[in-house]
Amino acid sequence: MPSTTGFTLWLTGMHGTGKTTMAAYIAARLRQVGRNVEILDEGEIGDDLWQGLGDTKEERSTIVRRLGYVAQVLTRNNVAVLVPSVSPYKSGREENRRQIGRYVEVYVDCPTETLIARDSTGKYKKALSGEIPNFIGITEPYEPPNSPEVTIHSDTEAVEDGAMKIFQSLLDLGYVTSDELKIITGKKMKANPVAKQARRGEPKADKGGGGKGTGAKARPATRAARVAKPAAPAAKKTPKRK
């Protein structure tokens, strides 16, 4: 086991993408090998950490900073911290990366249309009808990460497949050992030293708009109300003068 065992696994993505499910899956398997694990689910601890805060950009940024502070304290005390949080703004997530240090960003992605179709809570439909204002992905933008360590497409990938990407990234970074993963996955996994070196550096913007992390694909810079907003007509070409 590494001498320093704490790290923060930050799972970001829109409402309903499966962040909490993935966090619970990873946490259960890390506990199998004796790791100290805590899940900071923004939907469960809100009354304790930010009661009274609303849904403005500034208030959401405050929530992300508070989650980041708690994650930082736990990380430096050798706890594996899993944070399933929408955390829609890049600046807040990158600030936490700088503060925490041992930080792994997981982008749990899913098309907005799919989230609306499978939403059992009805929040997306209420947001589209105007009943819920300032809803991320509908009336407020979600800013996908440029360079997450891992990207999971929860509309096409099973939880187990996404978890394997996360475990590989943790191994590449030296946050778990191959012996631990042999117990967790039943497979002998090898670290990728090139990925380890790249991911420990400063995050770099991806020209394609996606992420350099495992399984990343090019995605739009922001996502908000794409289903409710018709595409702009193509611009007409001006003929060249001779």
How far apart are the C-alpha atoms of 160 and 84, rounded to whole Å? 17
Answer yes or no: are the C-beta atoms of 63 and 83 closer than 8 Å.
Answer: no
Answer yes or no: are the C-beta atoms of 44 and 85 closer than 8 Å.
Answer: no
How many Cβ atoms sit within 10 Å of the Cβ of residue 222? 14
Is the pLDDT score of 214 beyond 90? Answer: no
List, by residue number, the catalytic residues.
87
**Residues 6 or more apart whose Cβ sits within 8 Å of residue 171:** 177, 178, 181, 189, 190, 191
Q: Domain residues of the chain, as ranges?
A: 7-225
How far apart are the C-alpha atoms of 108 and 128, rounded to whole Å? 22
CATH architecture of the domain with range 7-225: 3-Layer(aba) Sandwich (3.40)
**Mean pLDDT, to the nearest integer, of 115-140?**
91
The pLDDT value given to residue 42: 85
Best-predicted range by mean pLDDT among 1-10, 75-84, 185-194, 209-218?
75-84
Residues in the chain: 242
Closest to 14 in 3D by CA, of 160, 156, 112, 82: 112
Between the alpha carbon of residue 157 and those of residues 88, 139, 146, the distances in Å are 22, 27, 20
Is the pLDDT score of 87 beyond 70? Answer: yes
Is the pLDDT score of 76 beyond 60? Answer: yes
